[in-house]
Amino acid sequence: MNDSQRIKGVLSPVVTPFKPDLSPDPERFVRQCRWLLSQNVGLAVFGTNSEANSLSVEEKIELLDRLVAAGLDPARLMPGTGHCALTDSVRMTAHAMKLGCGGVLMLPPFYYKGVSDDGLFRSFAEVIERVGESRLRVYVYHIPPVSQVPITTGLVERLLKAYPAQTAGMKDSGGDWKNTQAFLDAFAKSGFDVFAGSETFLLQNMRNGGAGCISATANVNPGPIARLFDTWQNADADAQQSRLDEIRGTFAKFPMIPALKAAIGHYGGDAAWATVHPPLVELTPGQSEALVTELDRRQFTMPGLKR
Amino acid sequence: MNDSQRIKGVLSPVVTPFKPDLSPDPERFVRQCRWLLSQNVGLAVFGTNSEANSLSVEEKIELLDRLVAAGLDPARLMPGTGHCALTDSVRMTAHAMKLGCGGVLMLPPFYYKGVSDDGLFRSFAEVIERVGESRLRVYVYHIPPVSQVPITTGLVERLLKAYPAQTAGMKDSGGDWKNTQAFLDAFAKSGFDVFAGSETFLLQNMRNGGAGCISATANVNPGPIARLFDTWQNADADAQQSRLDEIRGTFAKFPMIPALKAAIGHYGGDAAWATVHPPLVELTPGQSEALVTELDRRQFTMPGLKR
């Protein structure tokens, strides 16, 4: 891969539509991904917001195959491939490489807590070695509120030393700007791409040498977030950021994943989208109504989503 | 299943031996399980101490098949079958049923934190419904220090109401006796079997209507723990408990899983056992030596382990 083609900008951890039997719905998934690309947003499929860990490797491979078969550009794909089980991570990462995905977003194994950097290094190293592809671009995934297994600067330093080509960057979903800043300070100049975990930090990240953001709300507000990435040096950047924060703030009043799906269901005119996979639960009708009422009041729209 | 044949007593979350390439080693696994049975200890294979979440469903199914093919009694097996992905949990549980396992130990889906009892109920209910076996005996697995997803009495109450035959019991690895007591008080009389998560609470659990324990150290000290279960009403029960606590205390000075494997390697004369799967790391040579020195000083033995 030519590294000038590295993934940059805004990506959506694409929410996964489910059929009534809770199996993934490939048609709706392809349609949603196509819409996101039309909004200039890349596809970090199989992230936390995708309920990816509620799906088996087989279910995810099937969805990824369907996206590529539908003609979506694999260079815009950064699927989540990190699992608790090493062989699952290897299988999913190798499959993403086979399809030509631009990168992979990799959770550390997240069952055991309090594990050492030695153990985490060995986990990532085993995946990289077993996949054995110089084209592989790994983005390590720091999301301690959920995984409870943080990624440290010490770990990234070791990975960059051992696998400079494959250690491409990270997503920081810790919600602590100081941590993002520490990674930017340590590694951004050497070409390590730091993606903020939400658009809340997009402008700040760009002003400090970051590569963009991968954000839950890019599922529902993709165009305006992508526009800030494209125009962050413009005079209205802070005003744009404030407007993004307003919309995100509305979603953040509700459980995020069910709220994203409720909004897609409502503004896309396709109520089936509201279904979530256990252990999550759908918004109540009252919550859905409150969400839409506030979004309408804020003149929120999802242009081009409705079929 | 005749409920008089329900699993009771002491079970080992059997540690999993690995080959140098980190794949599971079925020969050593069968041998170890056979030894544990000879010590009157049942087989809670694929638990936390088994590094089960570091293995794929395929790797676990292969190991389970090998145990049954080797002639080990499936009624003594309580494999861990709970995964983050619903279809993985269903597949593993259905396979355990097909093989005639006496029960299954089921983690809740553990990626998302702070999930509701509604969502967890739906997770367990989907597995029970999809497996669709009246013979199924589910033991829910409460291990908040690791899973970070607790099992509440409210959840068990709902499961018992909806699935009285299948909701067989629990393992409480929270380390808080008050919590174990609360489950015993609420459900033990109705036939819900509470297993303590370590032998530390074995005597207390038996005196309060519990069913036994499922303990890490039953991998290395099975005979004496099983003896306390068999003789807990004897005059020397408290003395037995103290002796068990001494041995456990020695192991607890080290990272538990690597320490168990180091001890099996040392006392079984089979150094290959020391291998752990990333993200865990083996004991250092200094730690191994300190462990064995203290165990020897305490006259610890593993009778019959050596080939």
Taking the Cβ of residue A68 and every Cβ of chain B, the question of whether any pair is shorter than 8 Å is answered with no
Tell me the two tokens of residue A125.
């190293």
- Which residues in chain A are closer than 8 Å to B122, comparing Cβ atoms? 278-279, 281
**Structure-token match 């459900």, residue found:** B187
pLDDT of residue A306: 85
Average pLDDT over residues B283-292: 98
- Continuous H helices in B70-201: 86-98, 117-131, 144-147, 153-162, 177-187
Tell me the shortest Cα–Cα distance from A276 to chain B, in angstroms.
10
Tell me the shortest Cα–Cα distance from B180 to chain A, in angstroms.
23
In chain A, residues 194-253 whose CB comes closer than 8 Å to chain B = none
List residues bridging with A105 in a β-sheet: A80, A139
Tell me the two tokens of residue B285.
């040579």
Residue of B nearest to A88 (CA): B56
Residue A88: other Cβ atoms inside 10 A: 25
Q: What's chain A's length in residues?
A: 307
Q: Which residue among B56, B87, B120 places its CB closest to the CB of A279?
A: B120
Interchain pair A56, B88: CB under 8 A? yes
Tell me the two tokens of residue B15.
């540690």
Q: Which residue among A55, A84, A145 places its CB closest to the CB of B53?
A: A84
**Structure-token match 């020391």, residue found:** B274
- Which residues in chain A are closer than 8 Å to B145, comparing Cβ atoms? 113
- Which residues in chain B are closer than 8 Å to A110, comparing Cβ atoms? 111
**Under 8 Å between Cβ of A125 and A162:** yes
Question: Which of B19, B69, B75 has its CA nearest to residue B43?
Answer: B75
Interchain pair B279, A119: CB under 8 A? yes
> What whole-number distance in Å separates Cα of residue B296 and Cα of residue B45?
28
pLDDT of residue A307: 73
- Which residues in chain A are closer than 8 Å to B55, comparing Cβ atoms? 85, 87
In chain B, residues 262-281 whose CB comes closer than 8 Å to chain A = 277-281
> What whole-number distance in Å separates Cα of residue B295 and Cα of residue A125?
35
Q: Mind listing the pLDDT tens digit for each residue in A271-298?
A: 999 999 999 999 999 999 999 999 999 9
Average pLDDT over residues A214-241: 98
Taking the Cβ of residue A110 and every Cβ of chain B, the question of whether any pair is shorter than 8 Å is answered with yes
Task: Give the amino acid at B108.
Answer: P
Average pLDDT over residues A67-89: 98
- Which residues in chain A are closer than 8 Å to B149, comparing Cβ atoms? 279
Residue of A nearest to B88 (CA): A56
**Under 8 Å between Cβ of A63 and A23:** no
Is the pLDDT assigned to residue B71 strictly greater than 50?
A: yes
pLDDT of residue B306: 85
pLDDT of residue A2: 53
**pLDDT level of residue B3 (50, 70, 90 thresholds):** low
- DSSP-derived secondary structure for A245-275: HHHHHHHTTS-HHHHHHHHHHHHTT-GGGG-
**Structure-token match 């002003």, residue found:** A207
Chains A, B: CB contacts within 8 A come to: 112
Interchain pair B280, A145: CB under 8 A? no
> What whole-number distance in Å separates Cα of residue A105 and Cα of residue A197?
12
Interchain pair A146, B112: CB under 8 A? yes
Question: Which of B194, B192, B144 has its CA nearest to residue B167?
Answer: B192
Tell me the shortest Cα–Cα distance from B59 to chain A, in angstroms.
9
Interchain pair B56, A87: CB under 8 A? yes
Mean pLDDT of chain B, nearest integer:
97
Interchain pair A148, B278: CB under 8 A? no
**pLDDT level of residue B261 (50, 70, 90 thresholds):** very high
Residue B258 CA to its chain's centroid (Å):
16
Tell me the shortest Cα–Cα distance from B240 to chain A, in angstroms.
31
% of chain A surpassing 90 pLDDT: 98
Question: Which of A130, A121, A120, A140 has its CA nearest to residue A93?
Answer: A130
> What whole-number distance in Å separates Cα of residue A120 and Cα of residue A139?
14
Average pLDDT over residues B104-124: 98
Task: Give the amino acid at B31.
Answer: R
Tell me the two tokens of residue B230.
């068999």
Residue A72: other Cβ atoms inside 10 A: 19
pTM of the model: 0.97
Residue of A nearest to B82 (CA): A54
Q: Measuring CA to CA, how many Å separate A136 from each of A101, A294, B199, B218, B307?
A: 9, 42, 47, 43, 45
**pLDDT level of residue B2 (50, 70, 90 thresholds):** low
Taking the Cβ of residue A123 and every Cβ of chain B, the question of whether any pair is shorter than 8 Å is answered with yes
Considering only residues A307 and B209, tell me which one the structure prediction assigns the higher pLDDT.
B209
Q: Is A167 left (phi over 0), alpha (psi -120 to 50) or beta?
A: beta
Instruction: Respond yes or no on whether the N-terminal peptide bond of residue A279 is cis (omega within 30° of 0).
Output: yes
Interchain pair B279, A22: CB under 8 A? no
Taking the Cβ of residue A87 and every Cβ of chain B, the question of whether any pair is shorter than 8 Å is answered with yes
ipTM score of complex: 0.96
Taking the Cβ of residue A113 and every Cβ of chain B, the question of whether any pair is shorter than 8 Å is answered with yes
Is the pLDDT assigned to residue A1 strictly greater than 50?
A: no
Tell me the shortest Cα–Cα distance from B230 to chain A, in angstroms.
33
Q: Mind listing the pLDDT tens digit for each residue in B6-24?
A: 999 999 999 999 999 999 9
List Cβ neighbours of A278 (8 Å cut-off, separation of 6 or more).
A22, A54, B86, B109, B119, B120, B122, B123, B126
**pLDDT level of residue B1 (50, 70, 90 thresholds):** very low
Q: Which residue among B86, B112, B280 places its CB closest to the CB of A119?
A: B280
Interchain pair A85, B113: CB under 8 A? no
Q: What are phi and psi of B169, to 5 degrees?
A: 170, -160
% of chain A surpassing 70 pLDDT: 99
Tell me the shortest Cα–Cα distance from A113 to chain B, in angstroms.
6
Q: Mind listing the pLDDT tens digit for each residue in A108-153?
A: 999 999 999 999 999 999 999 999 999 999 999 999 999 999 999 9
Question: Which of B265, B228, B260, B268 has its CA nearest to residue B245?
Answer: B228
Q: Mind listing the pLDDT tens digit for each residue in B150-162?
A: 999 999 999 999 9
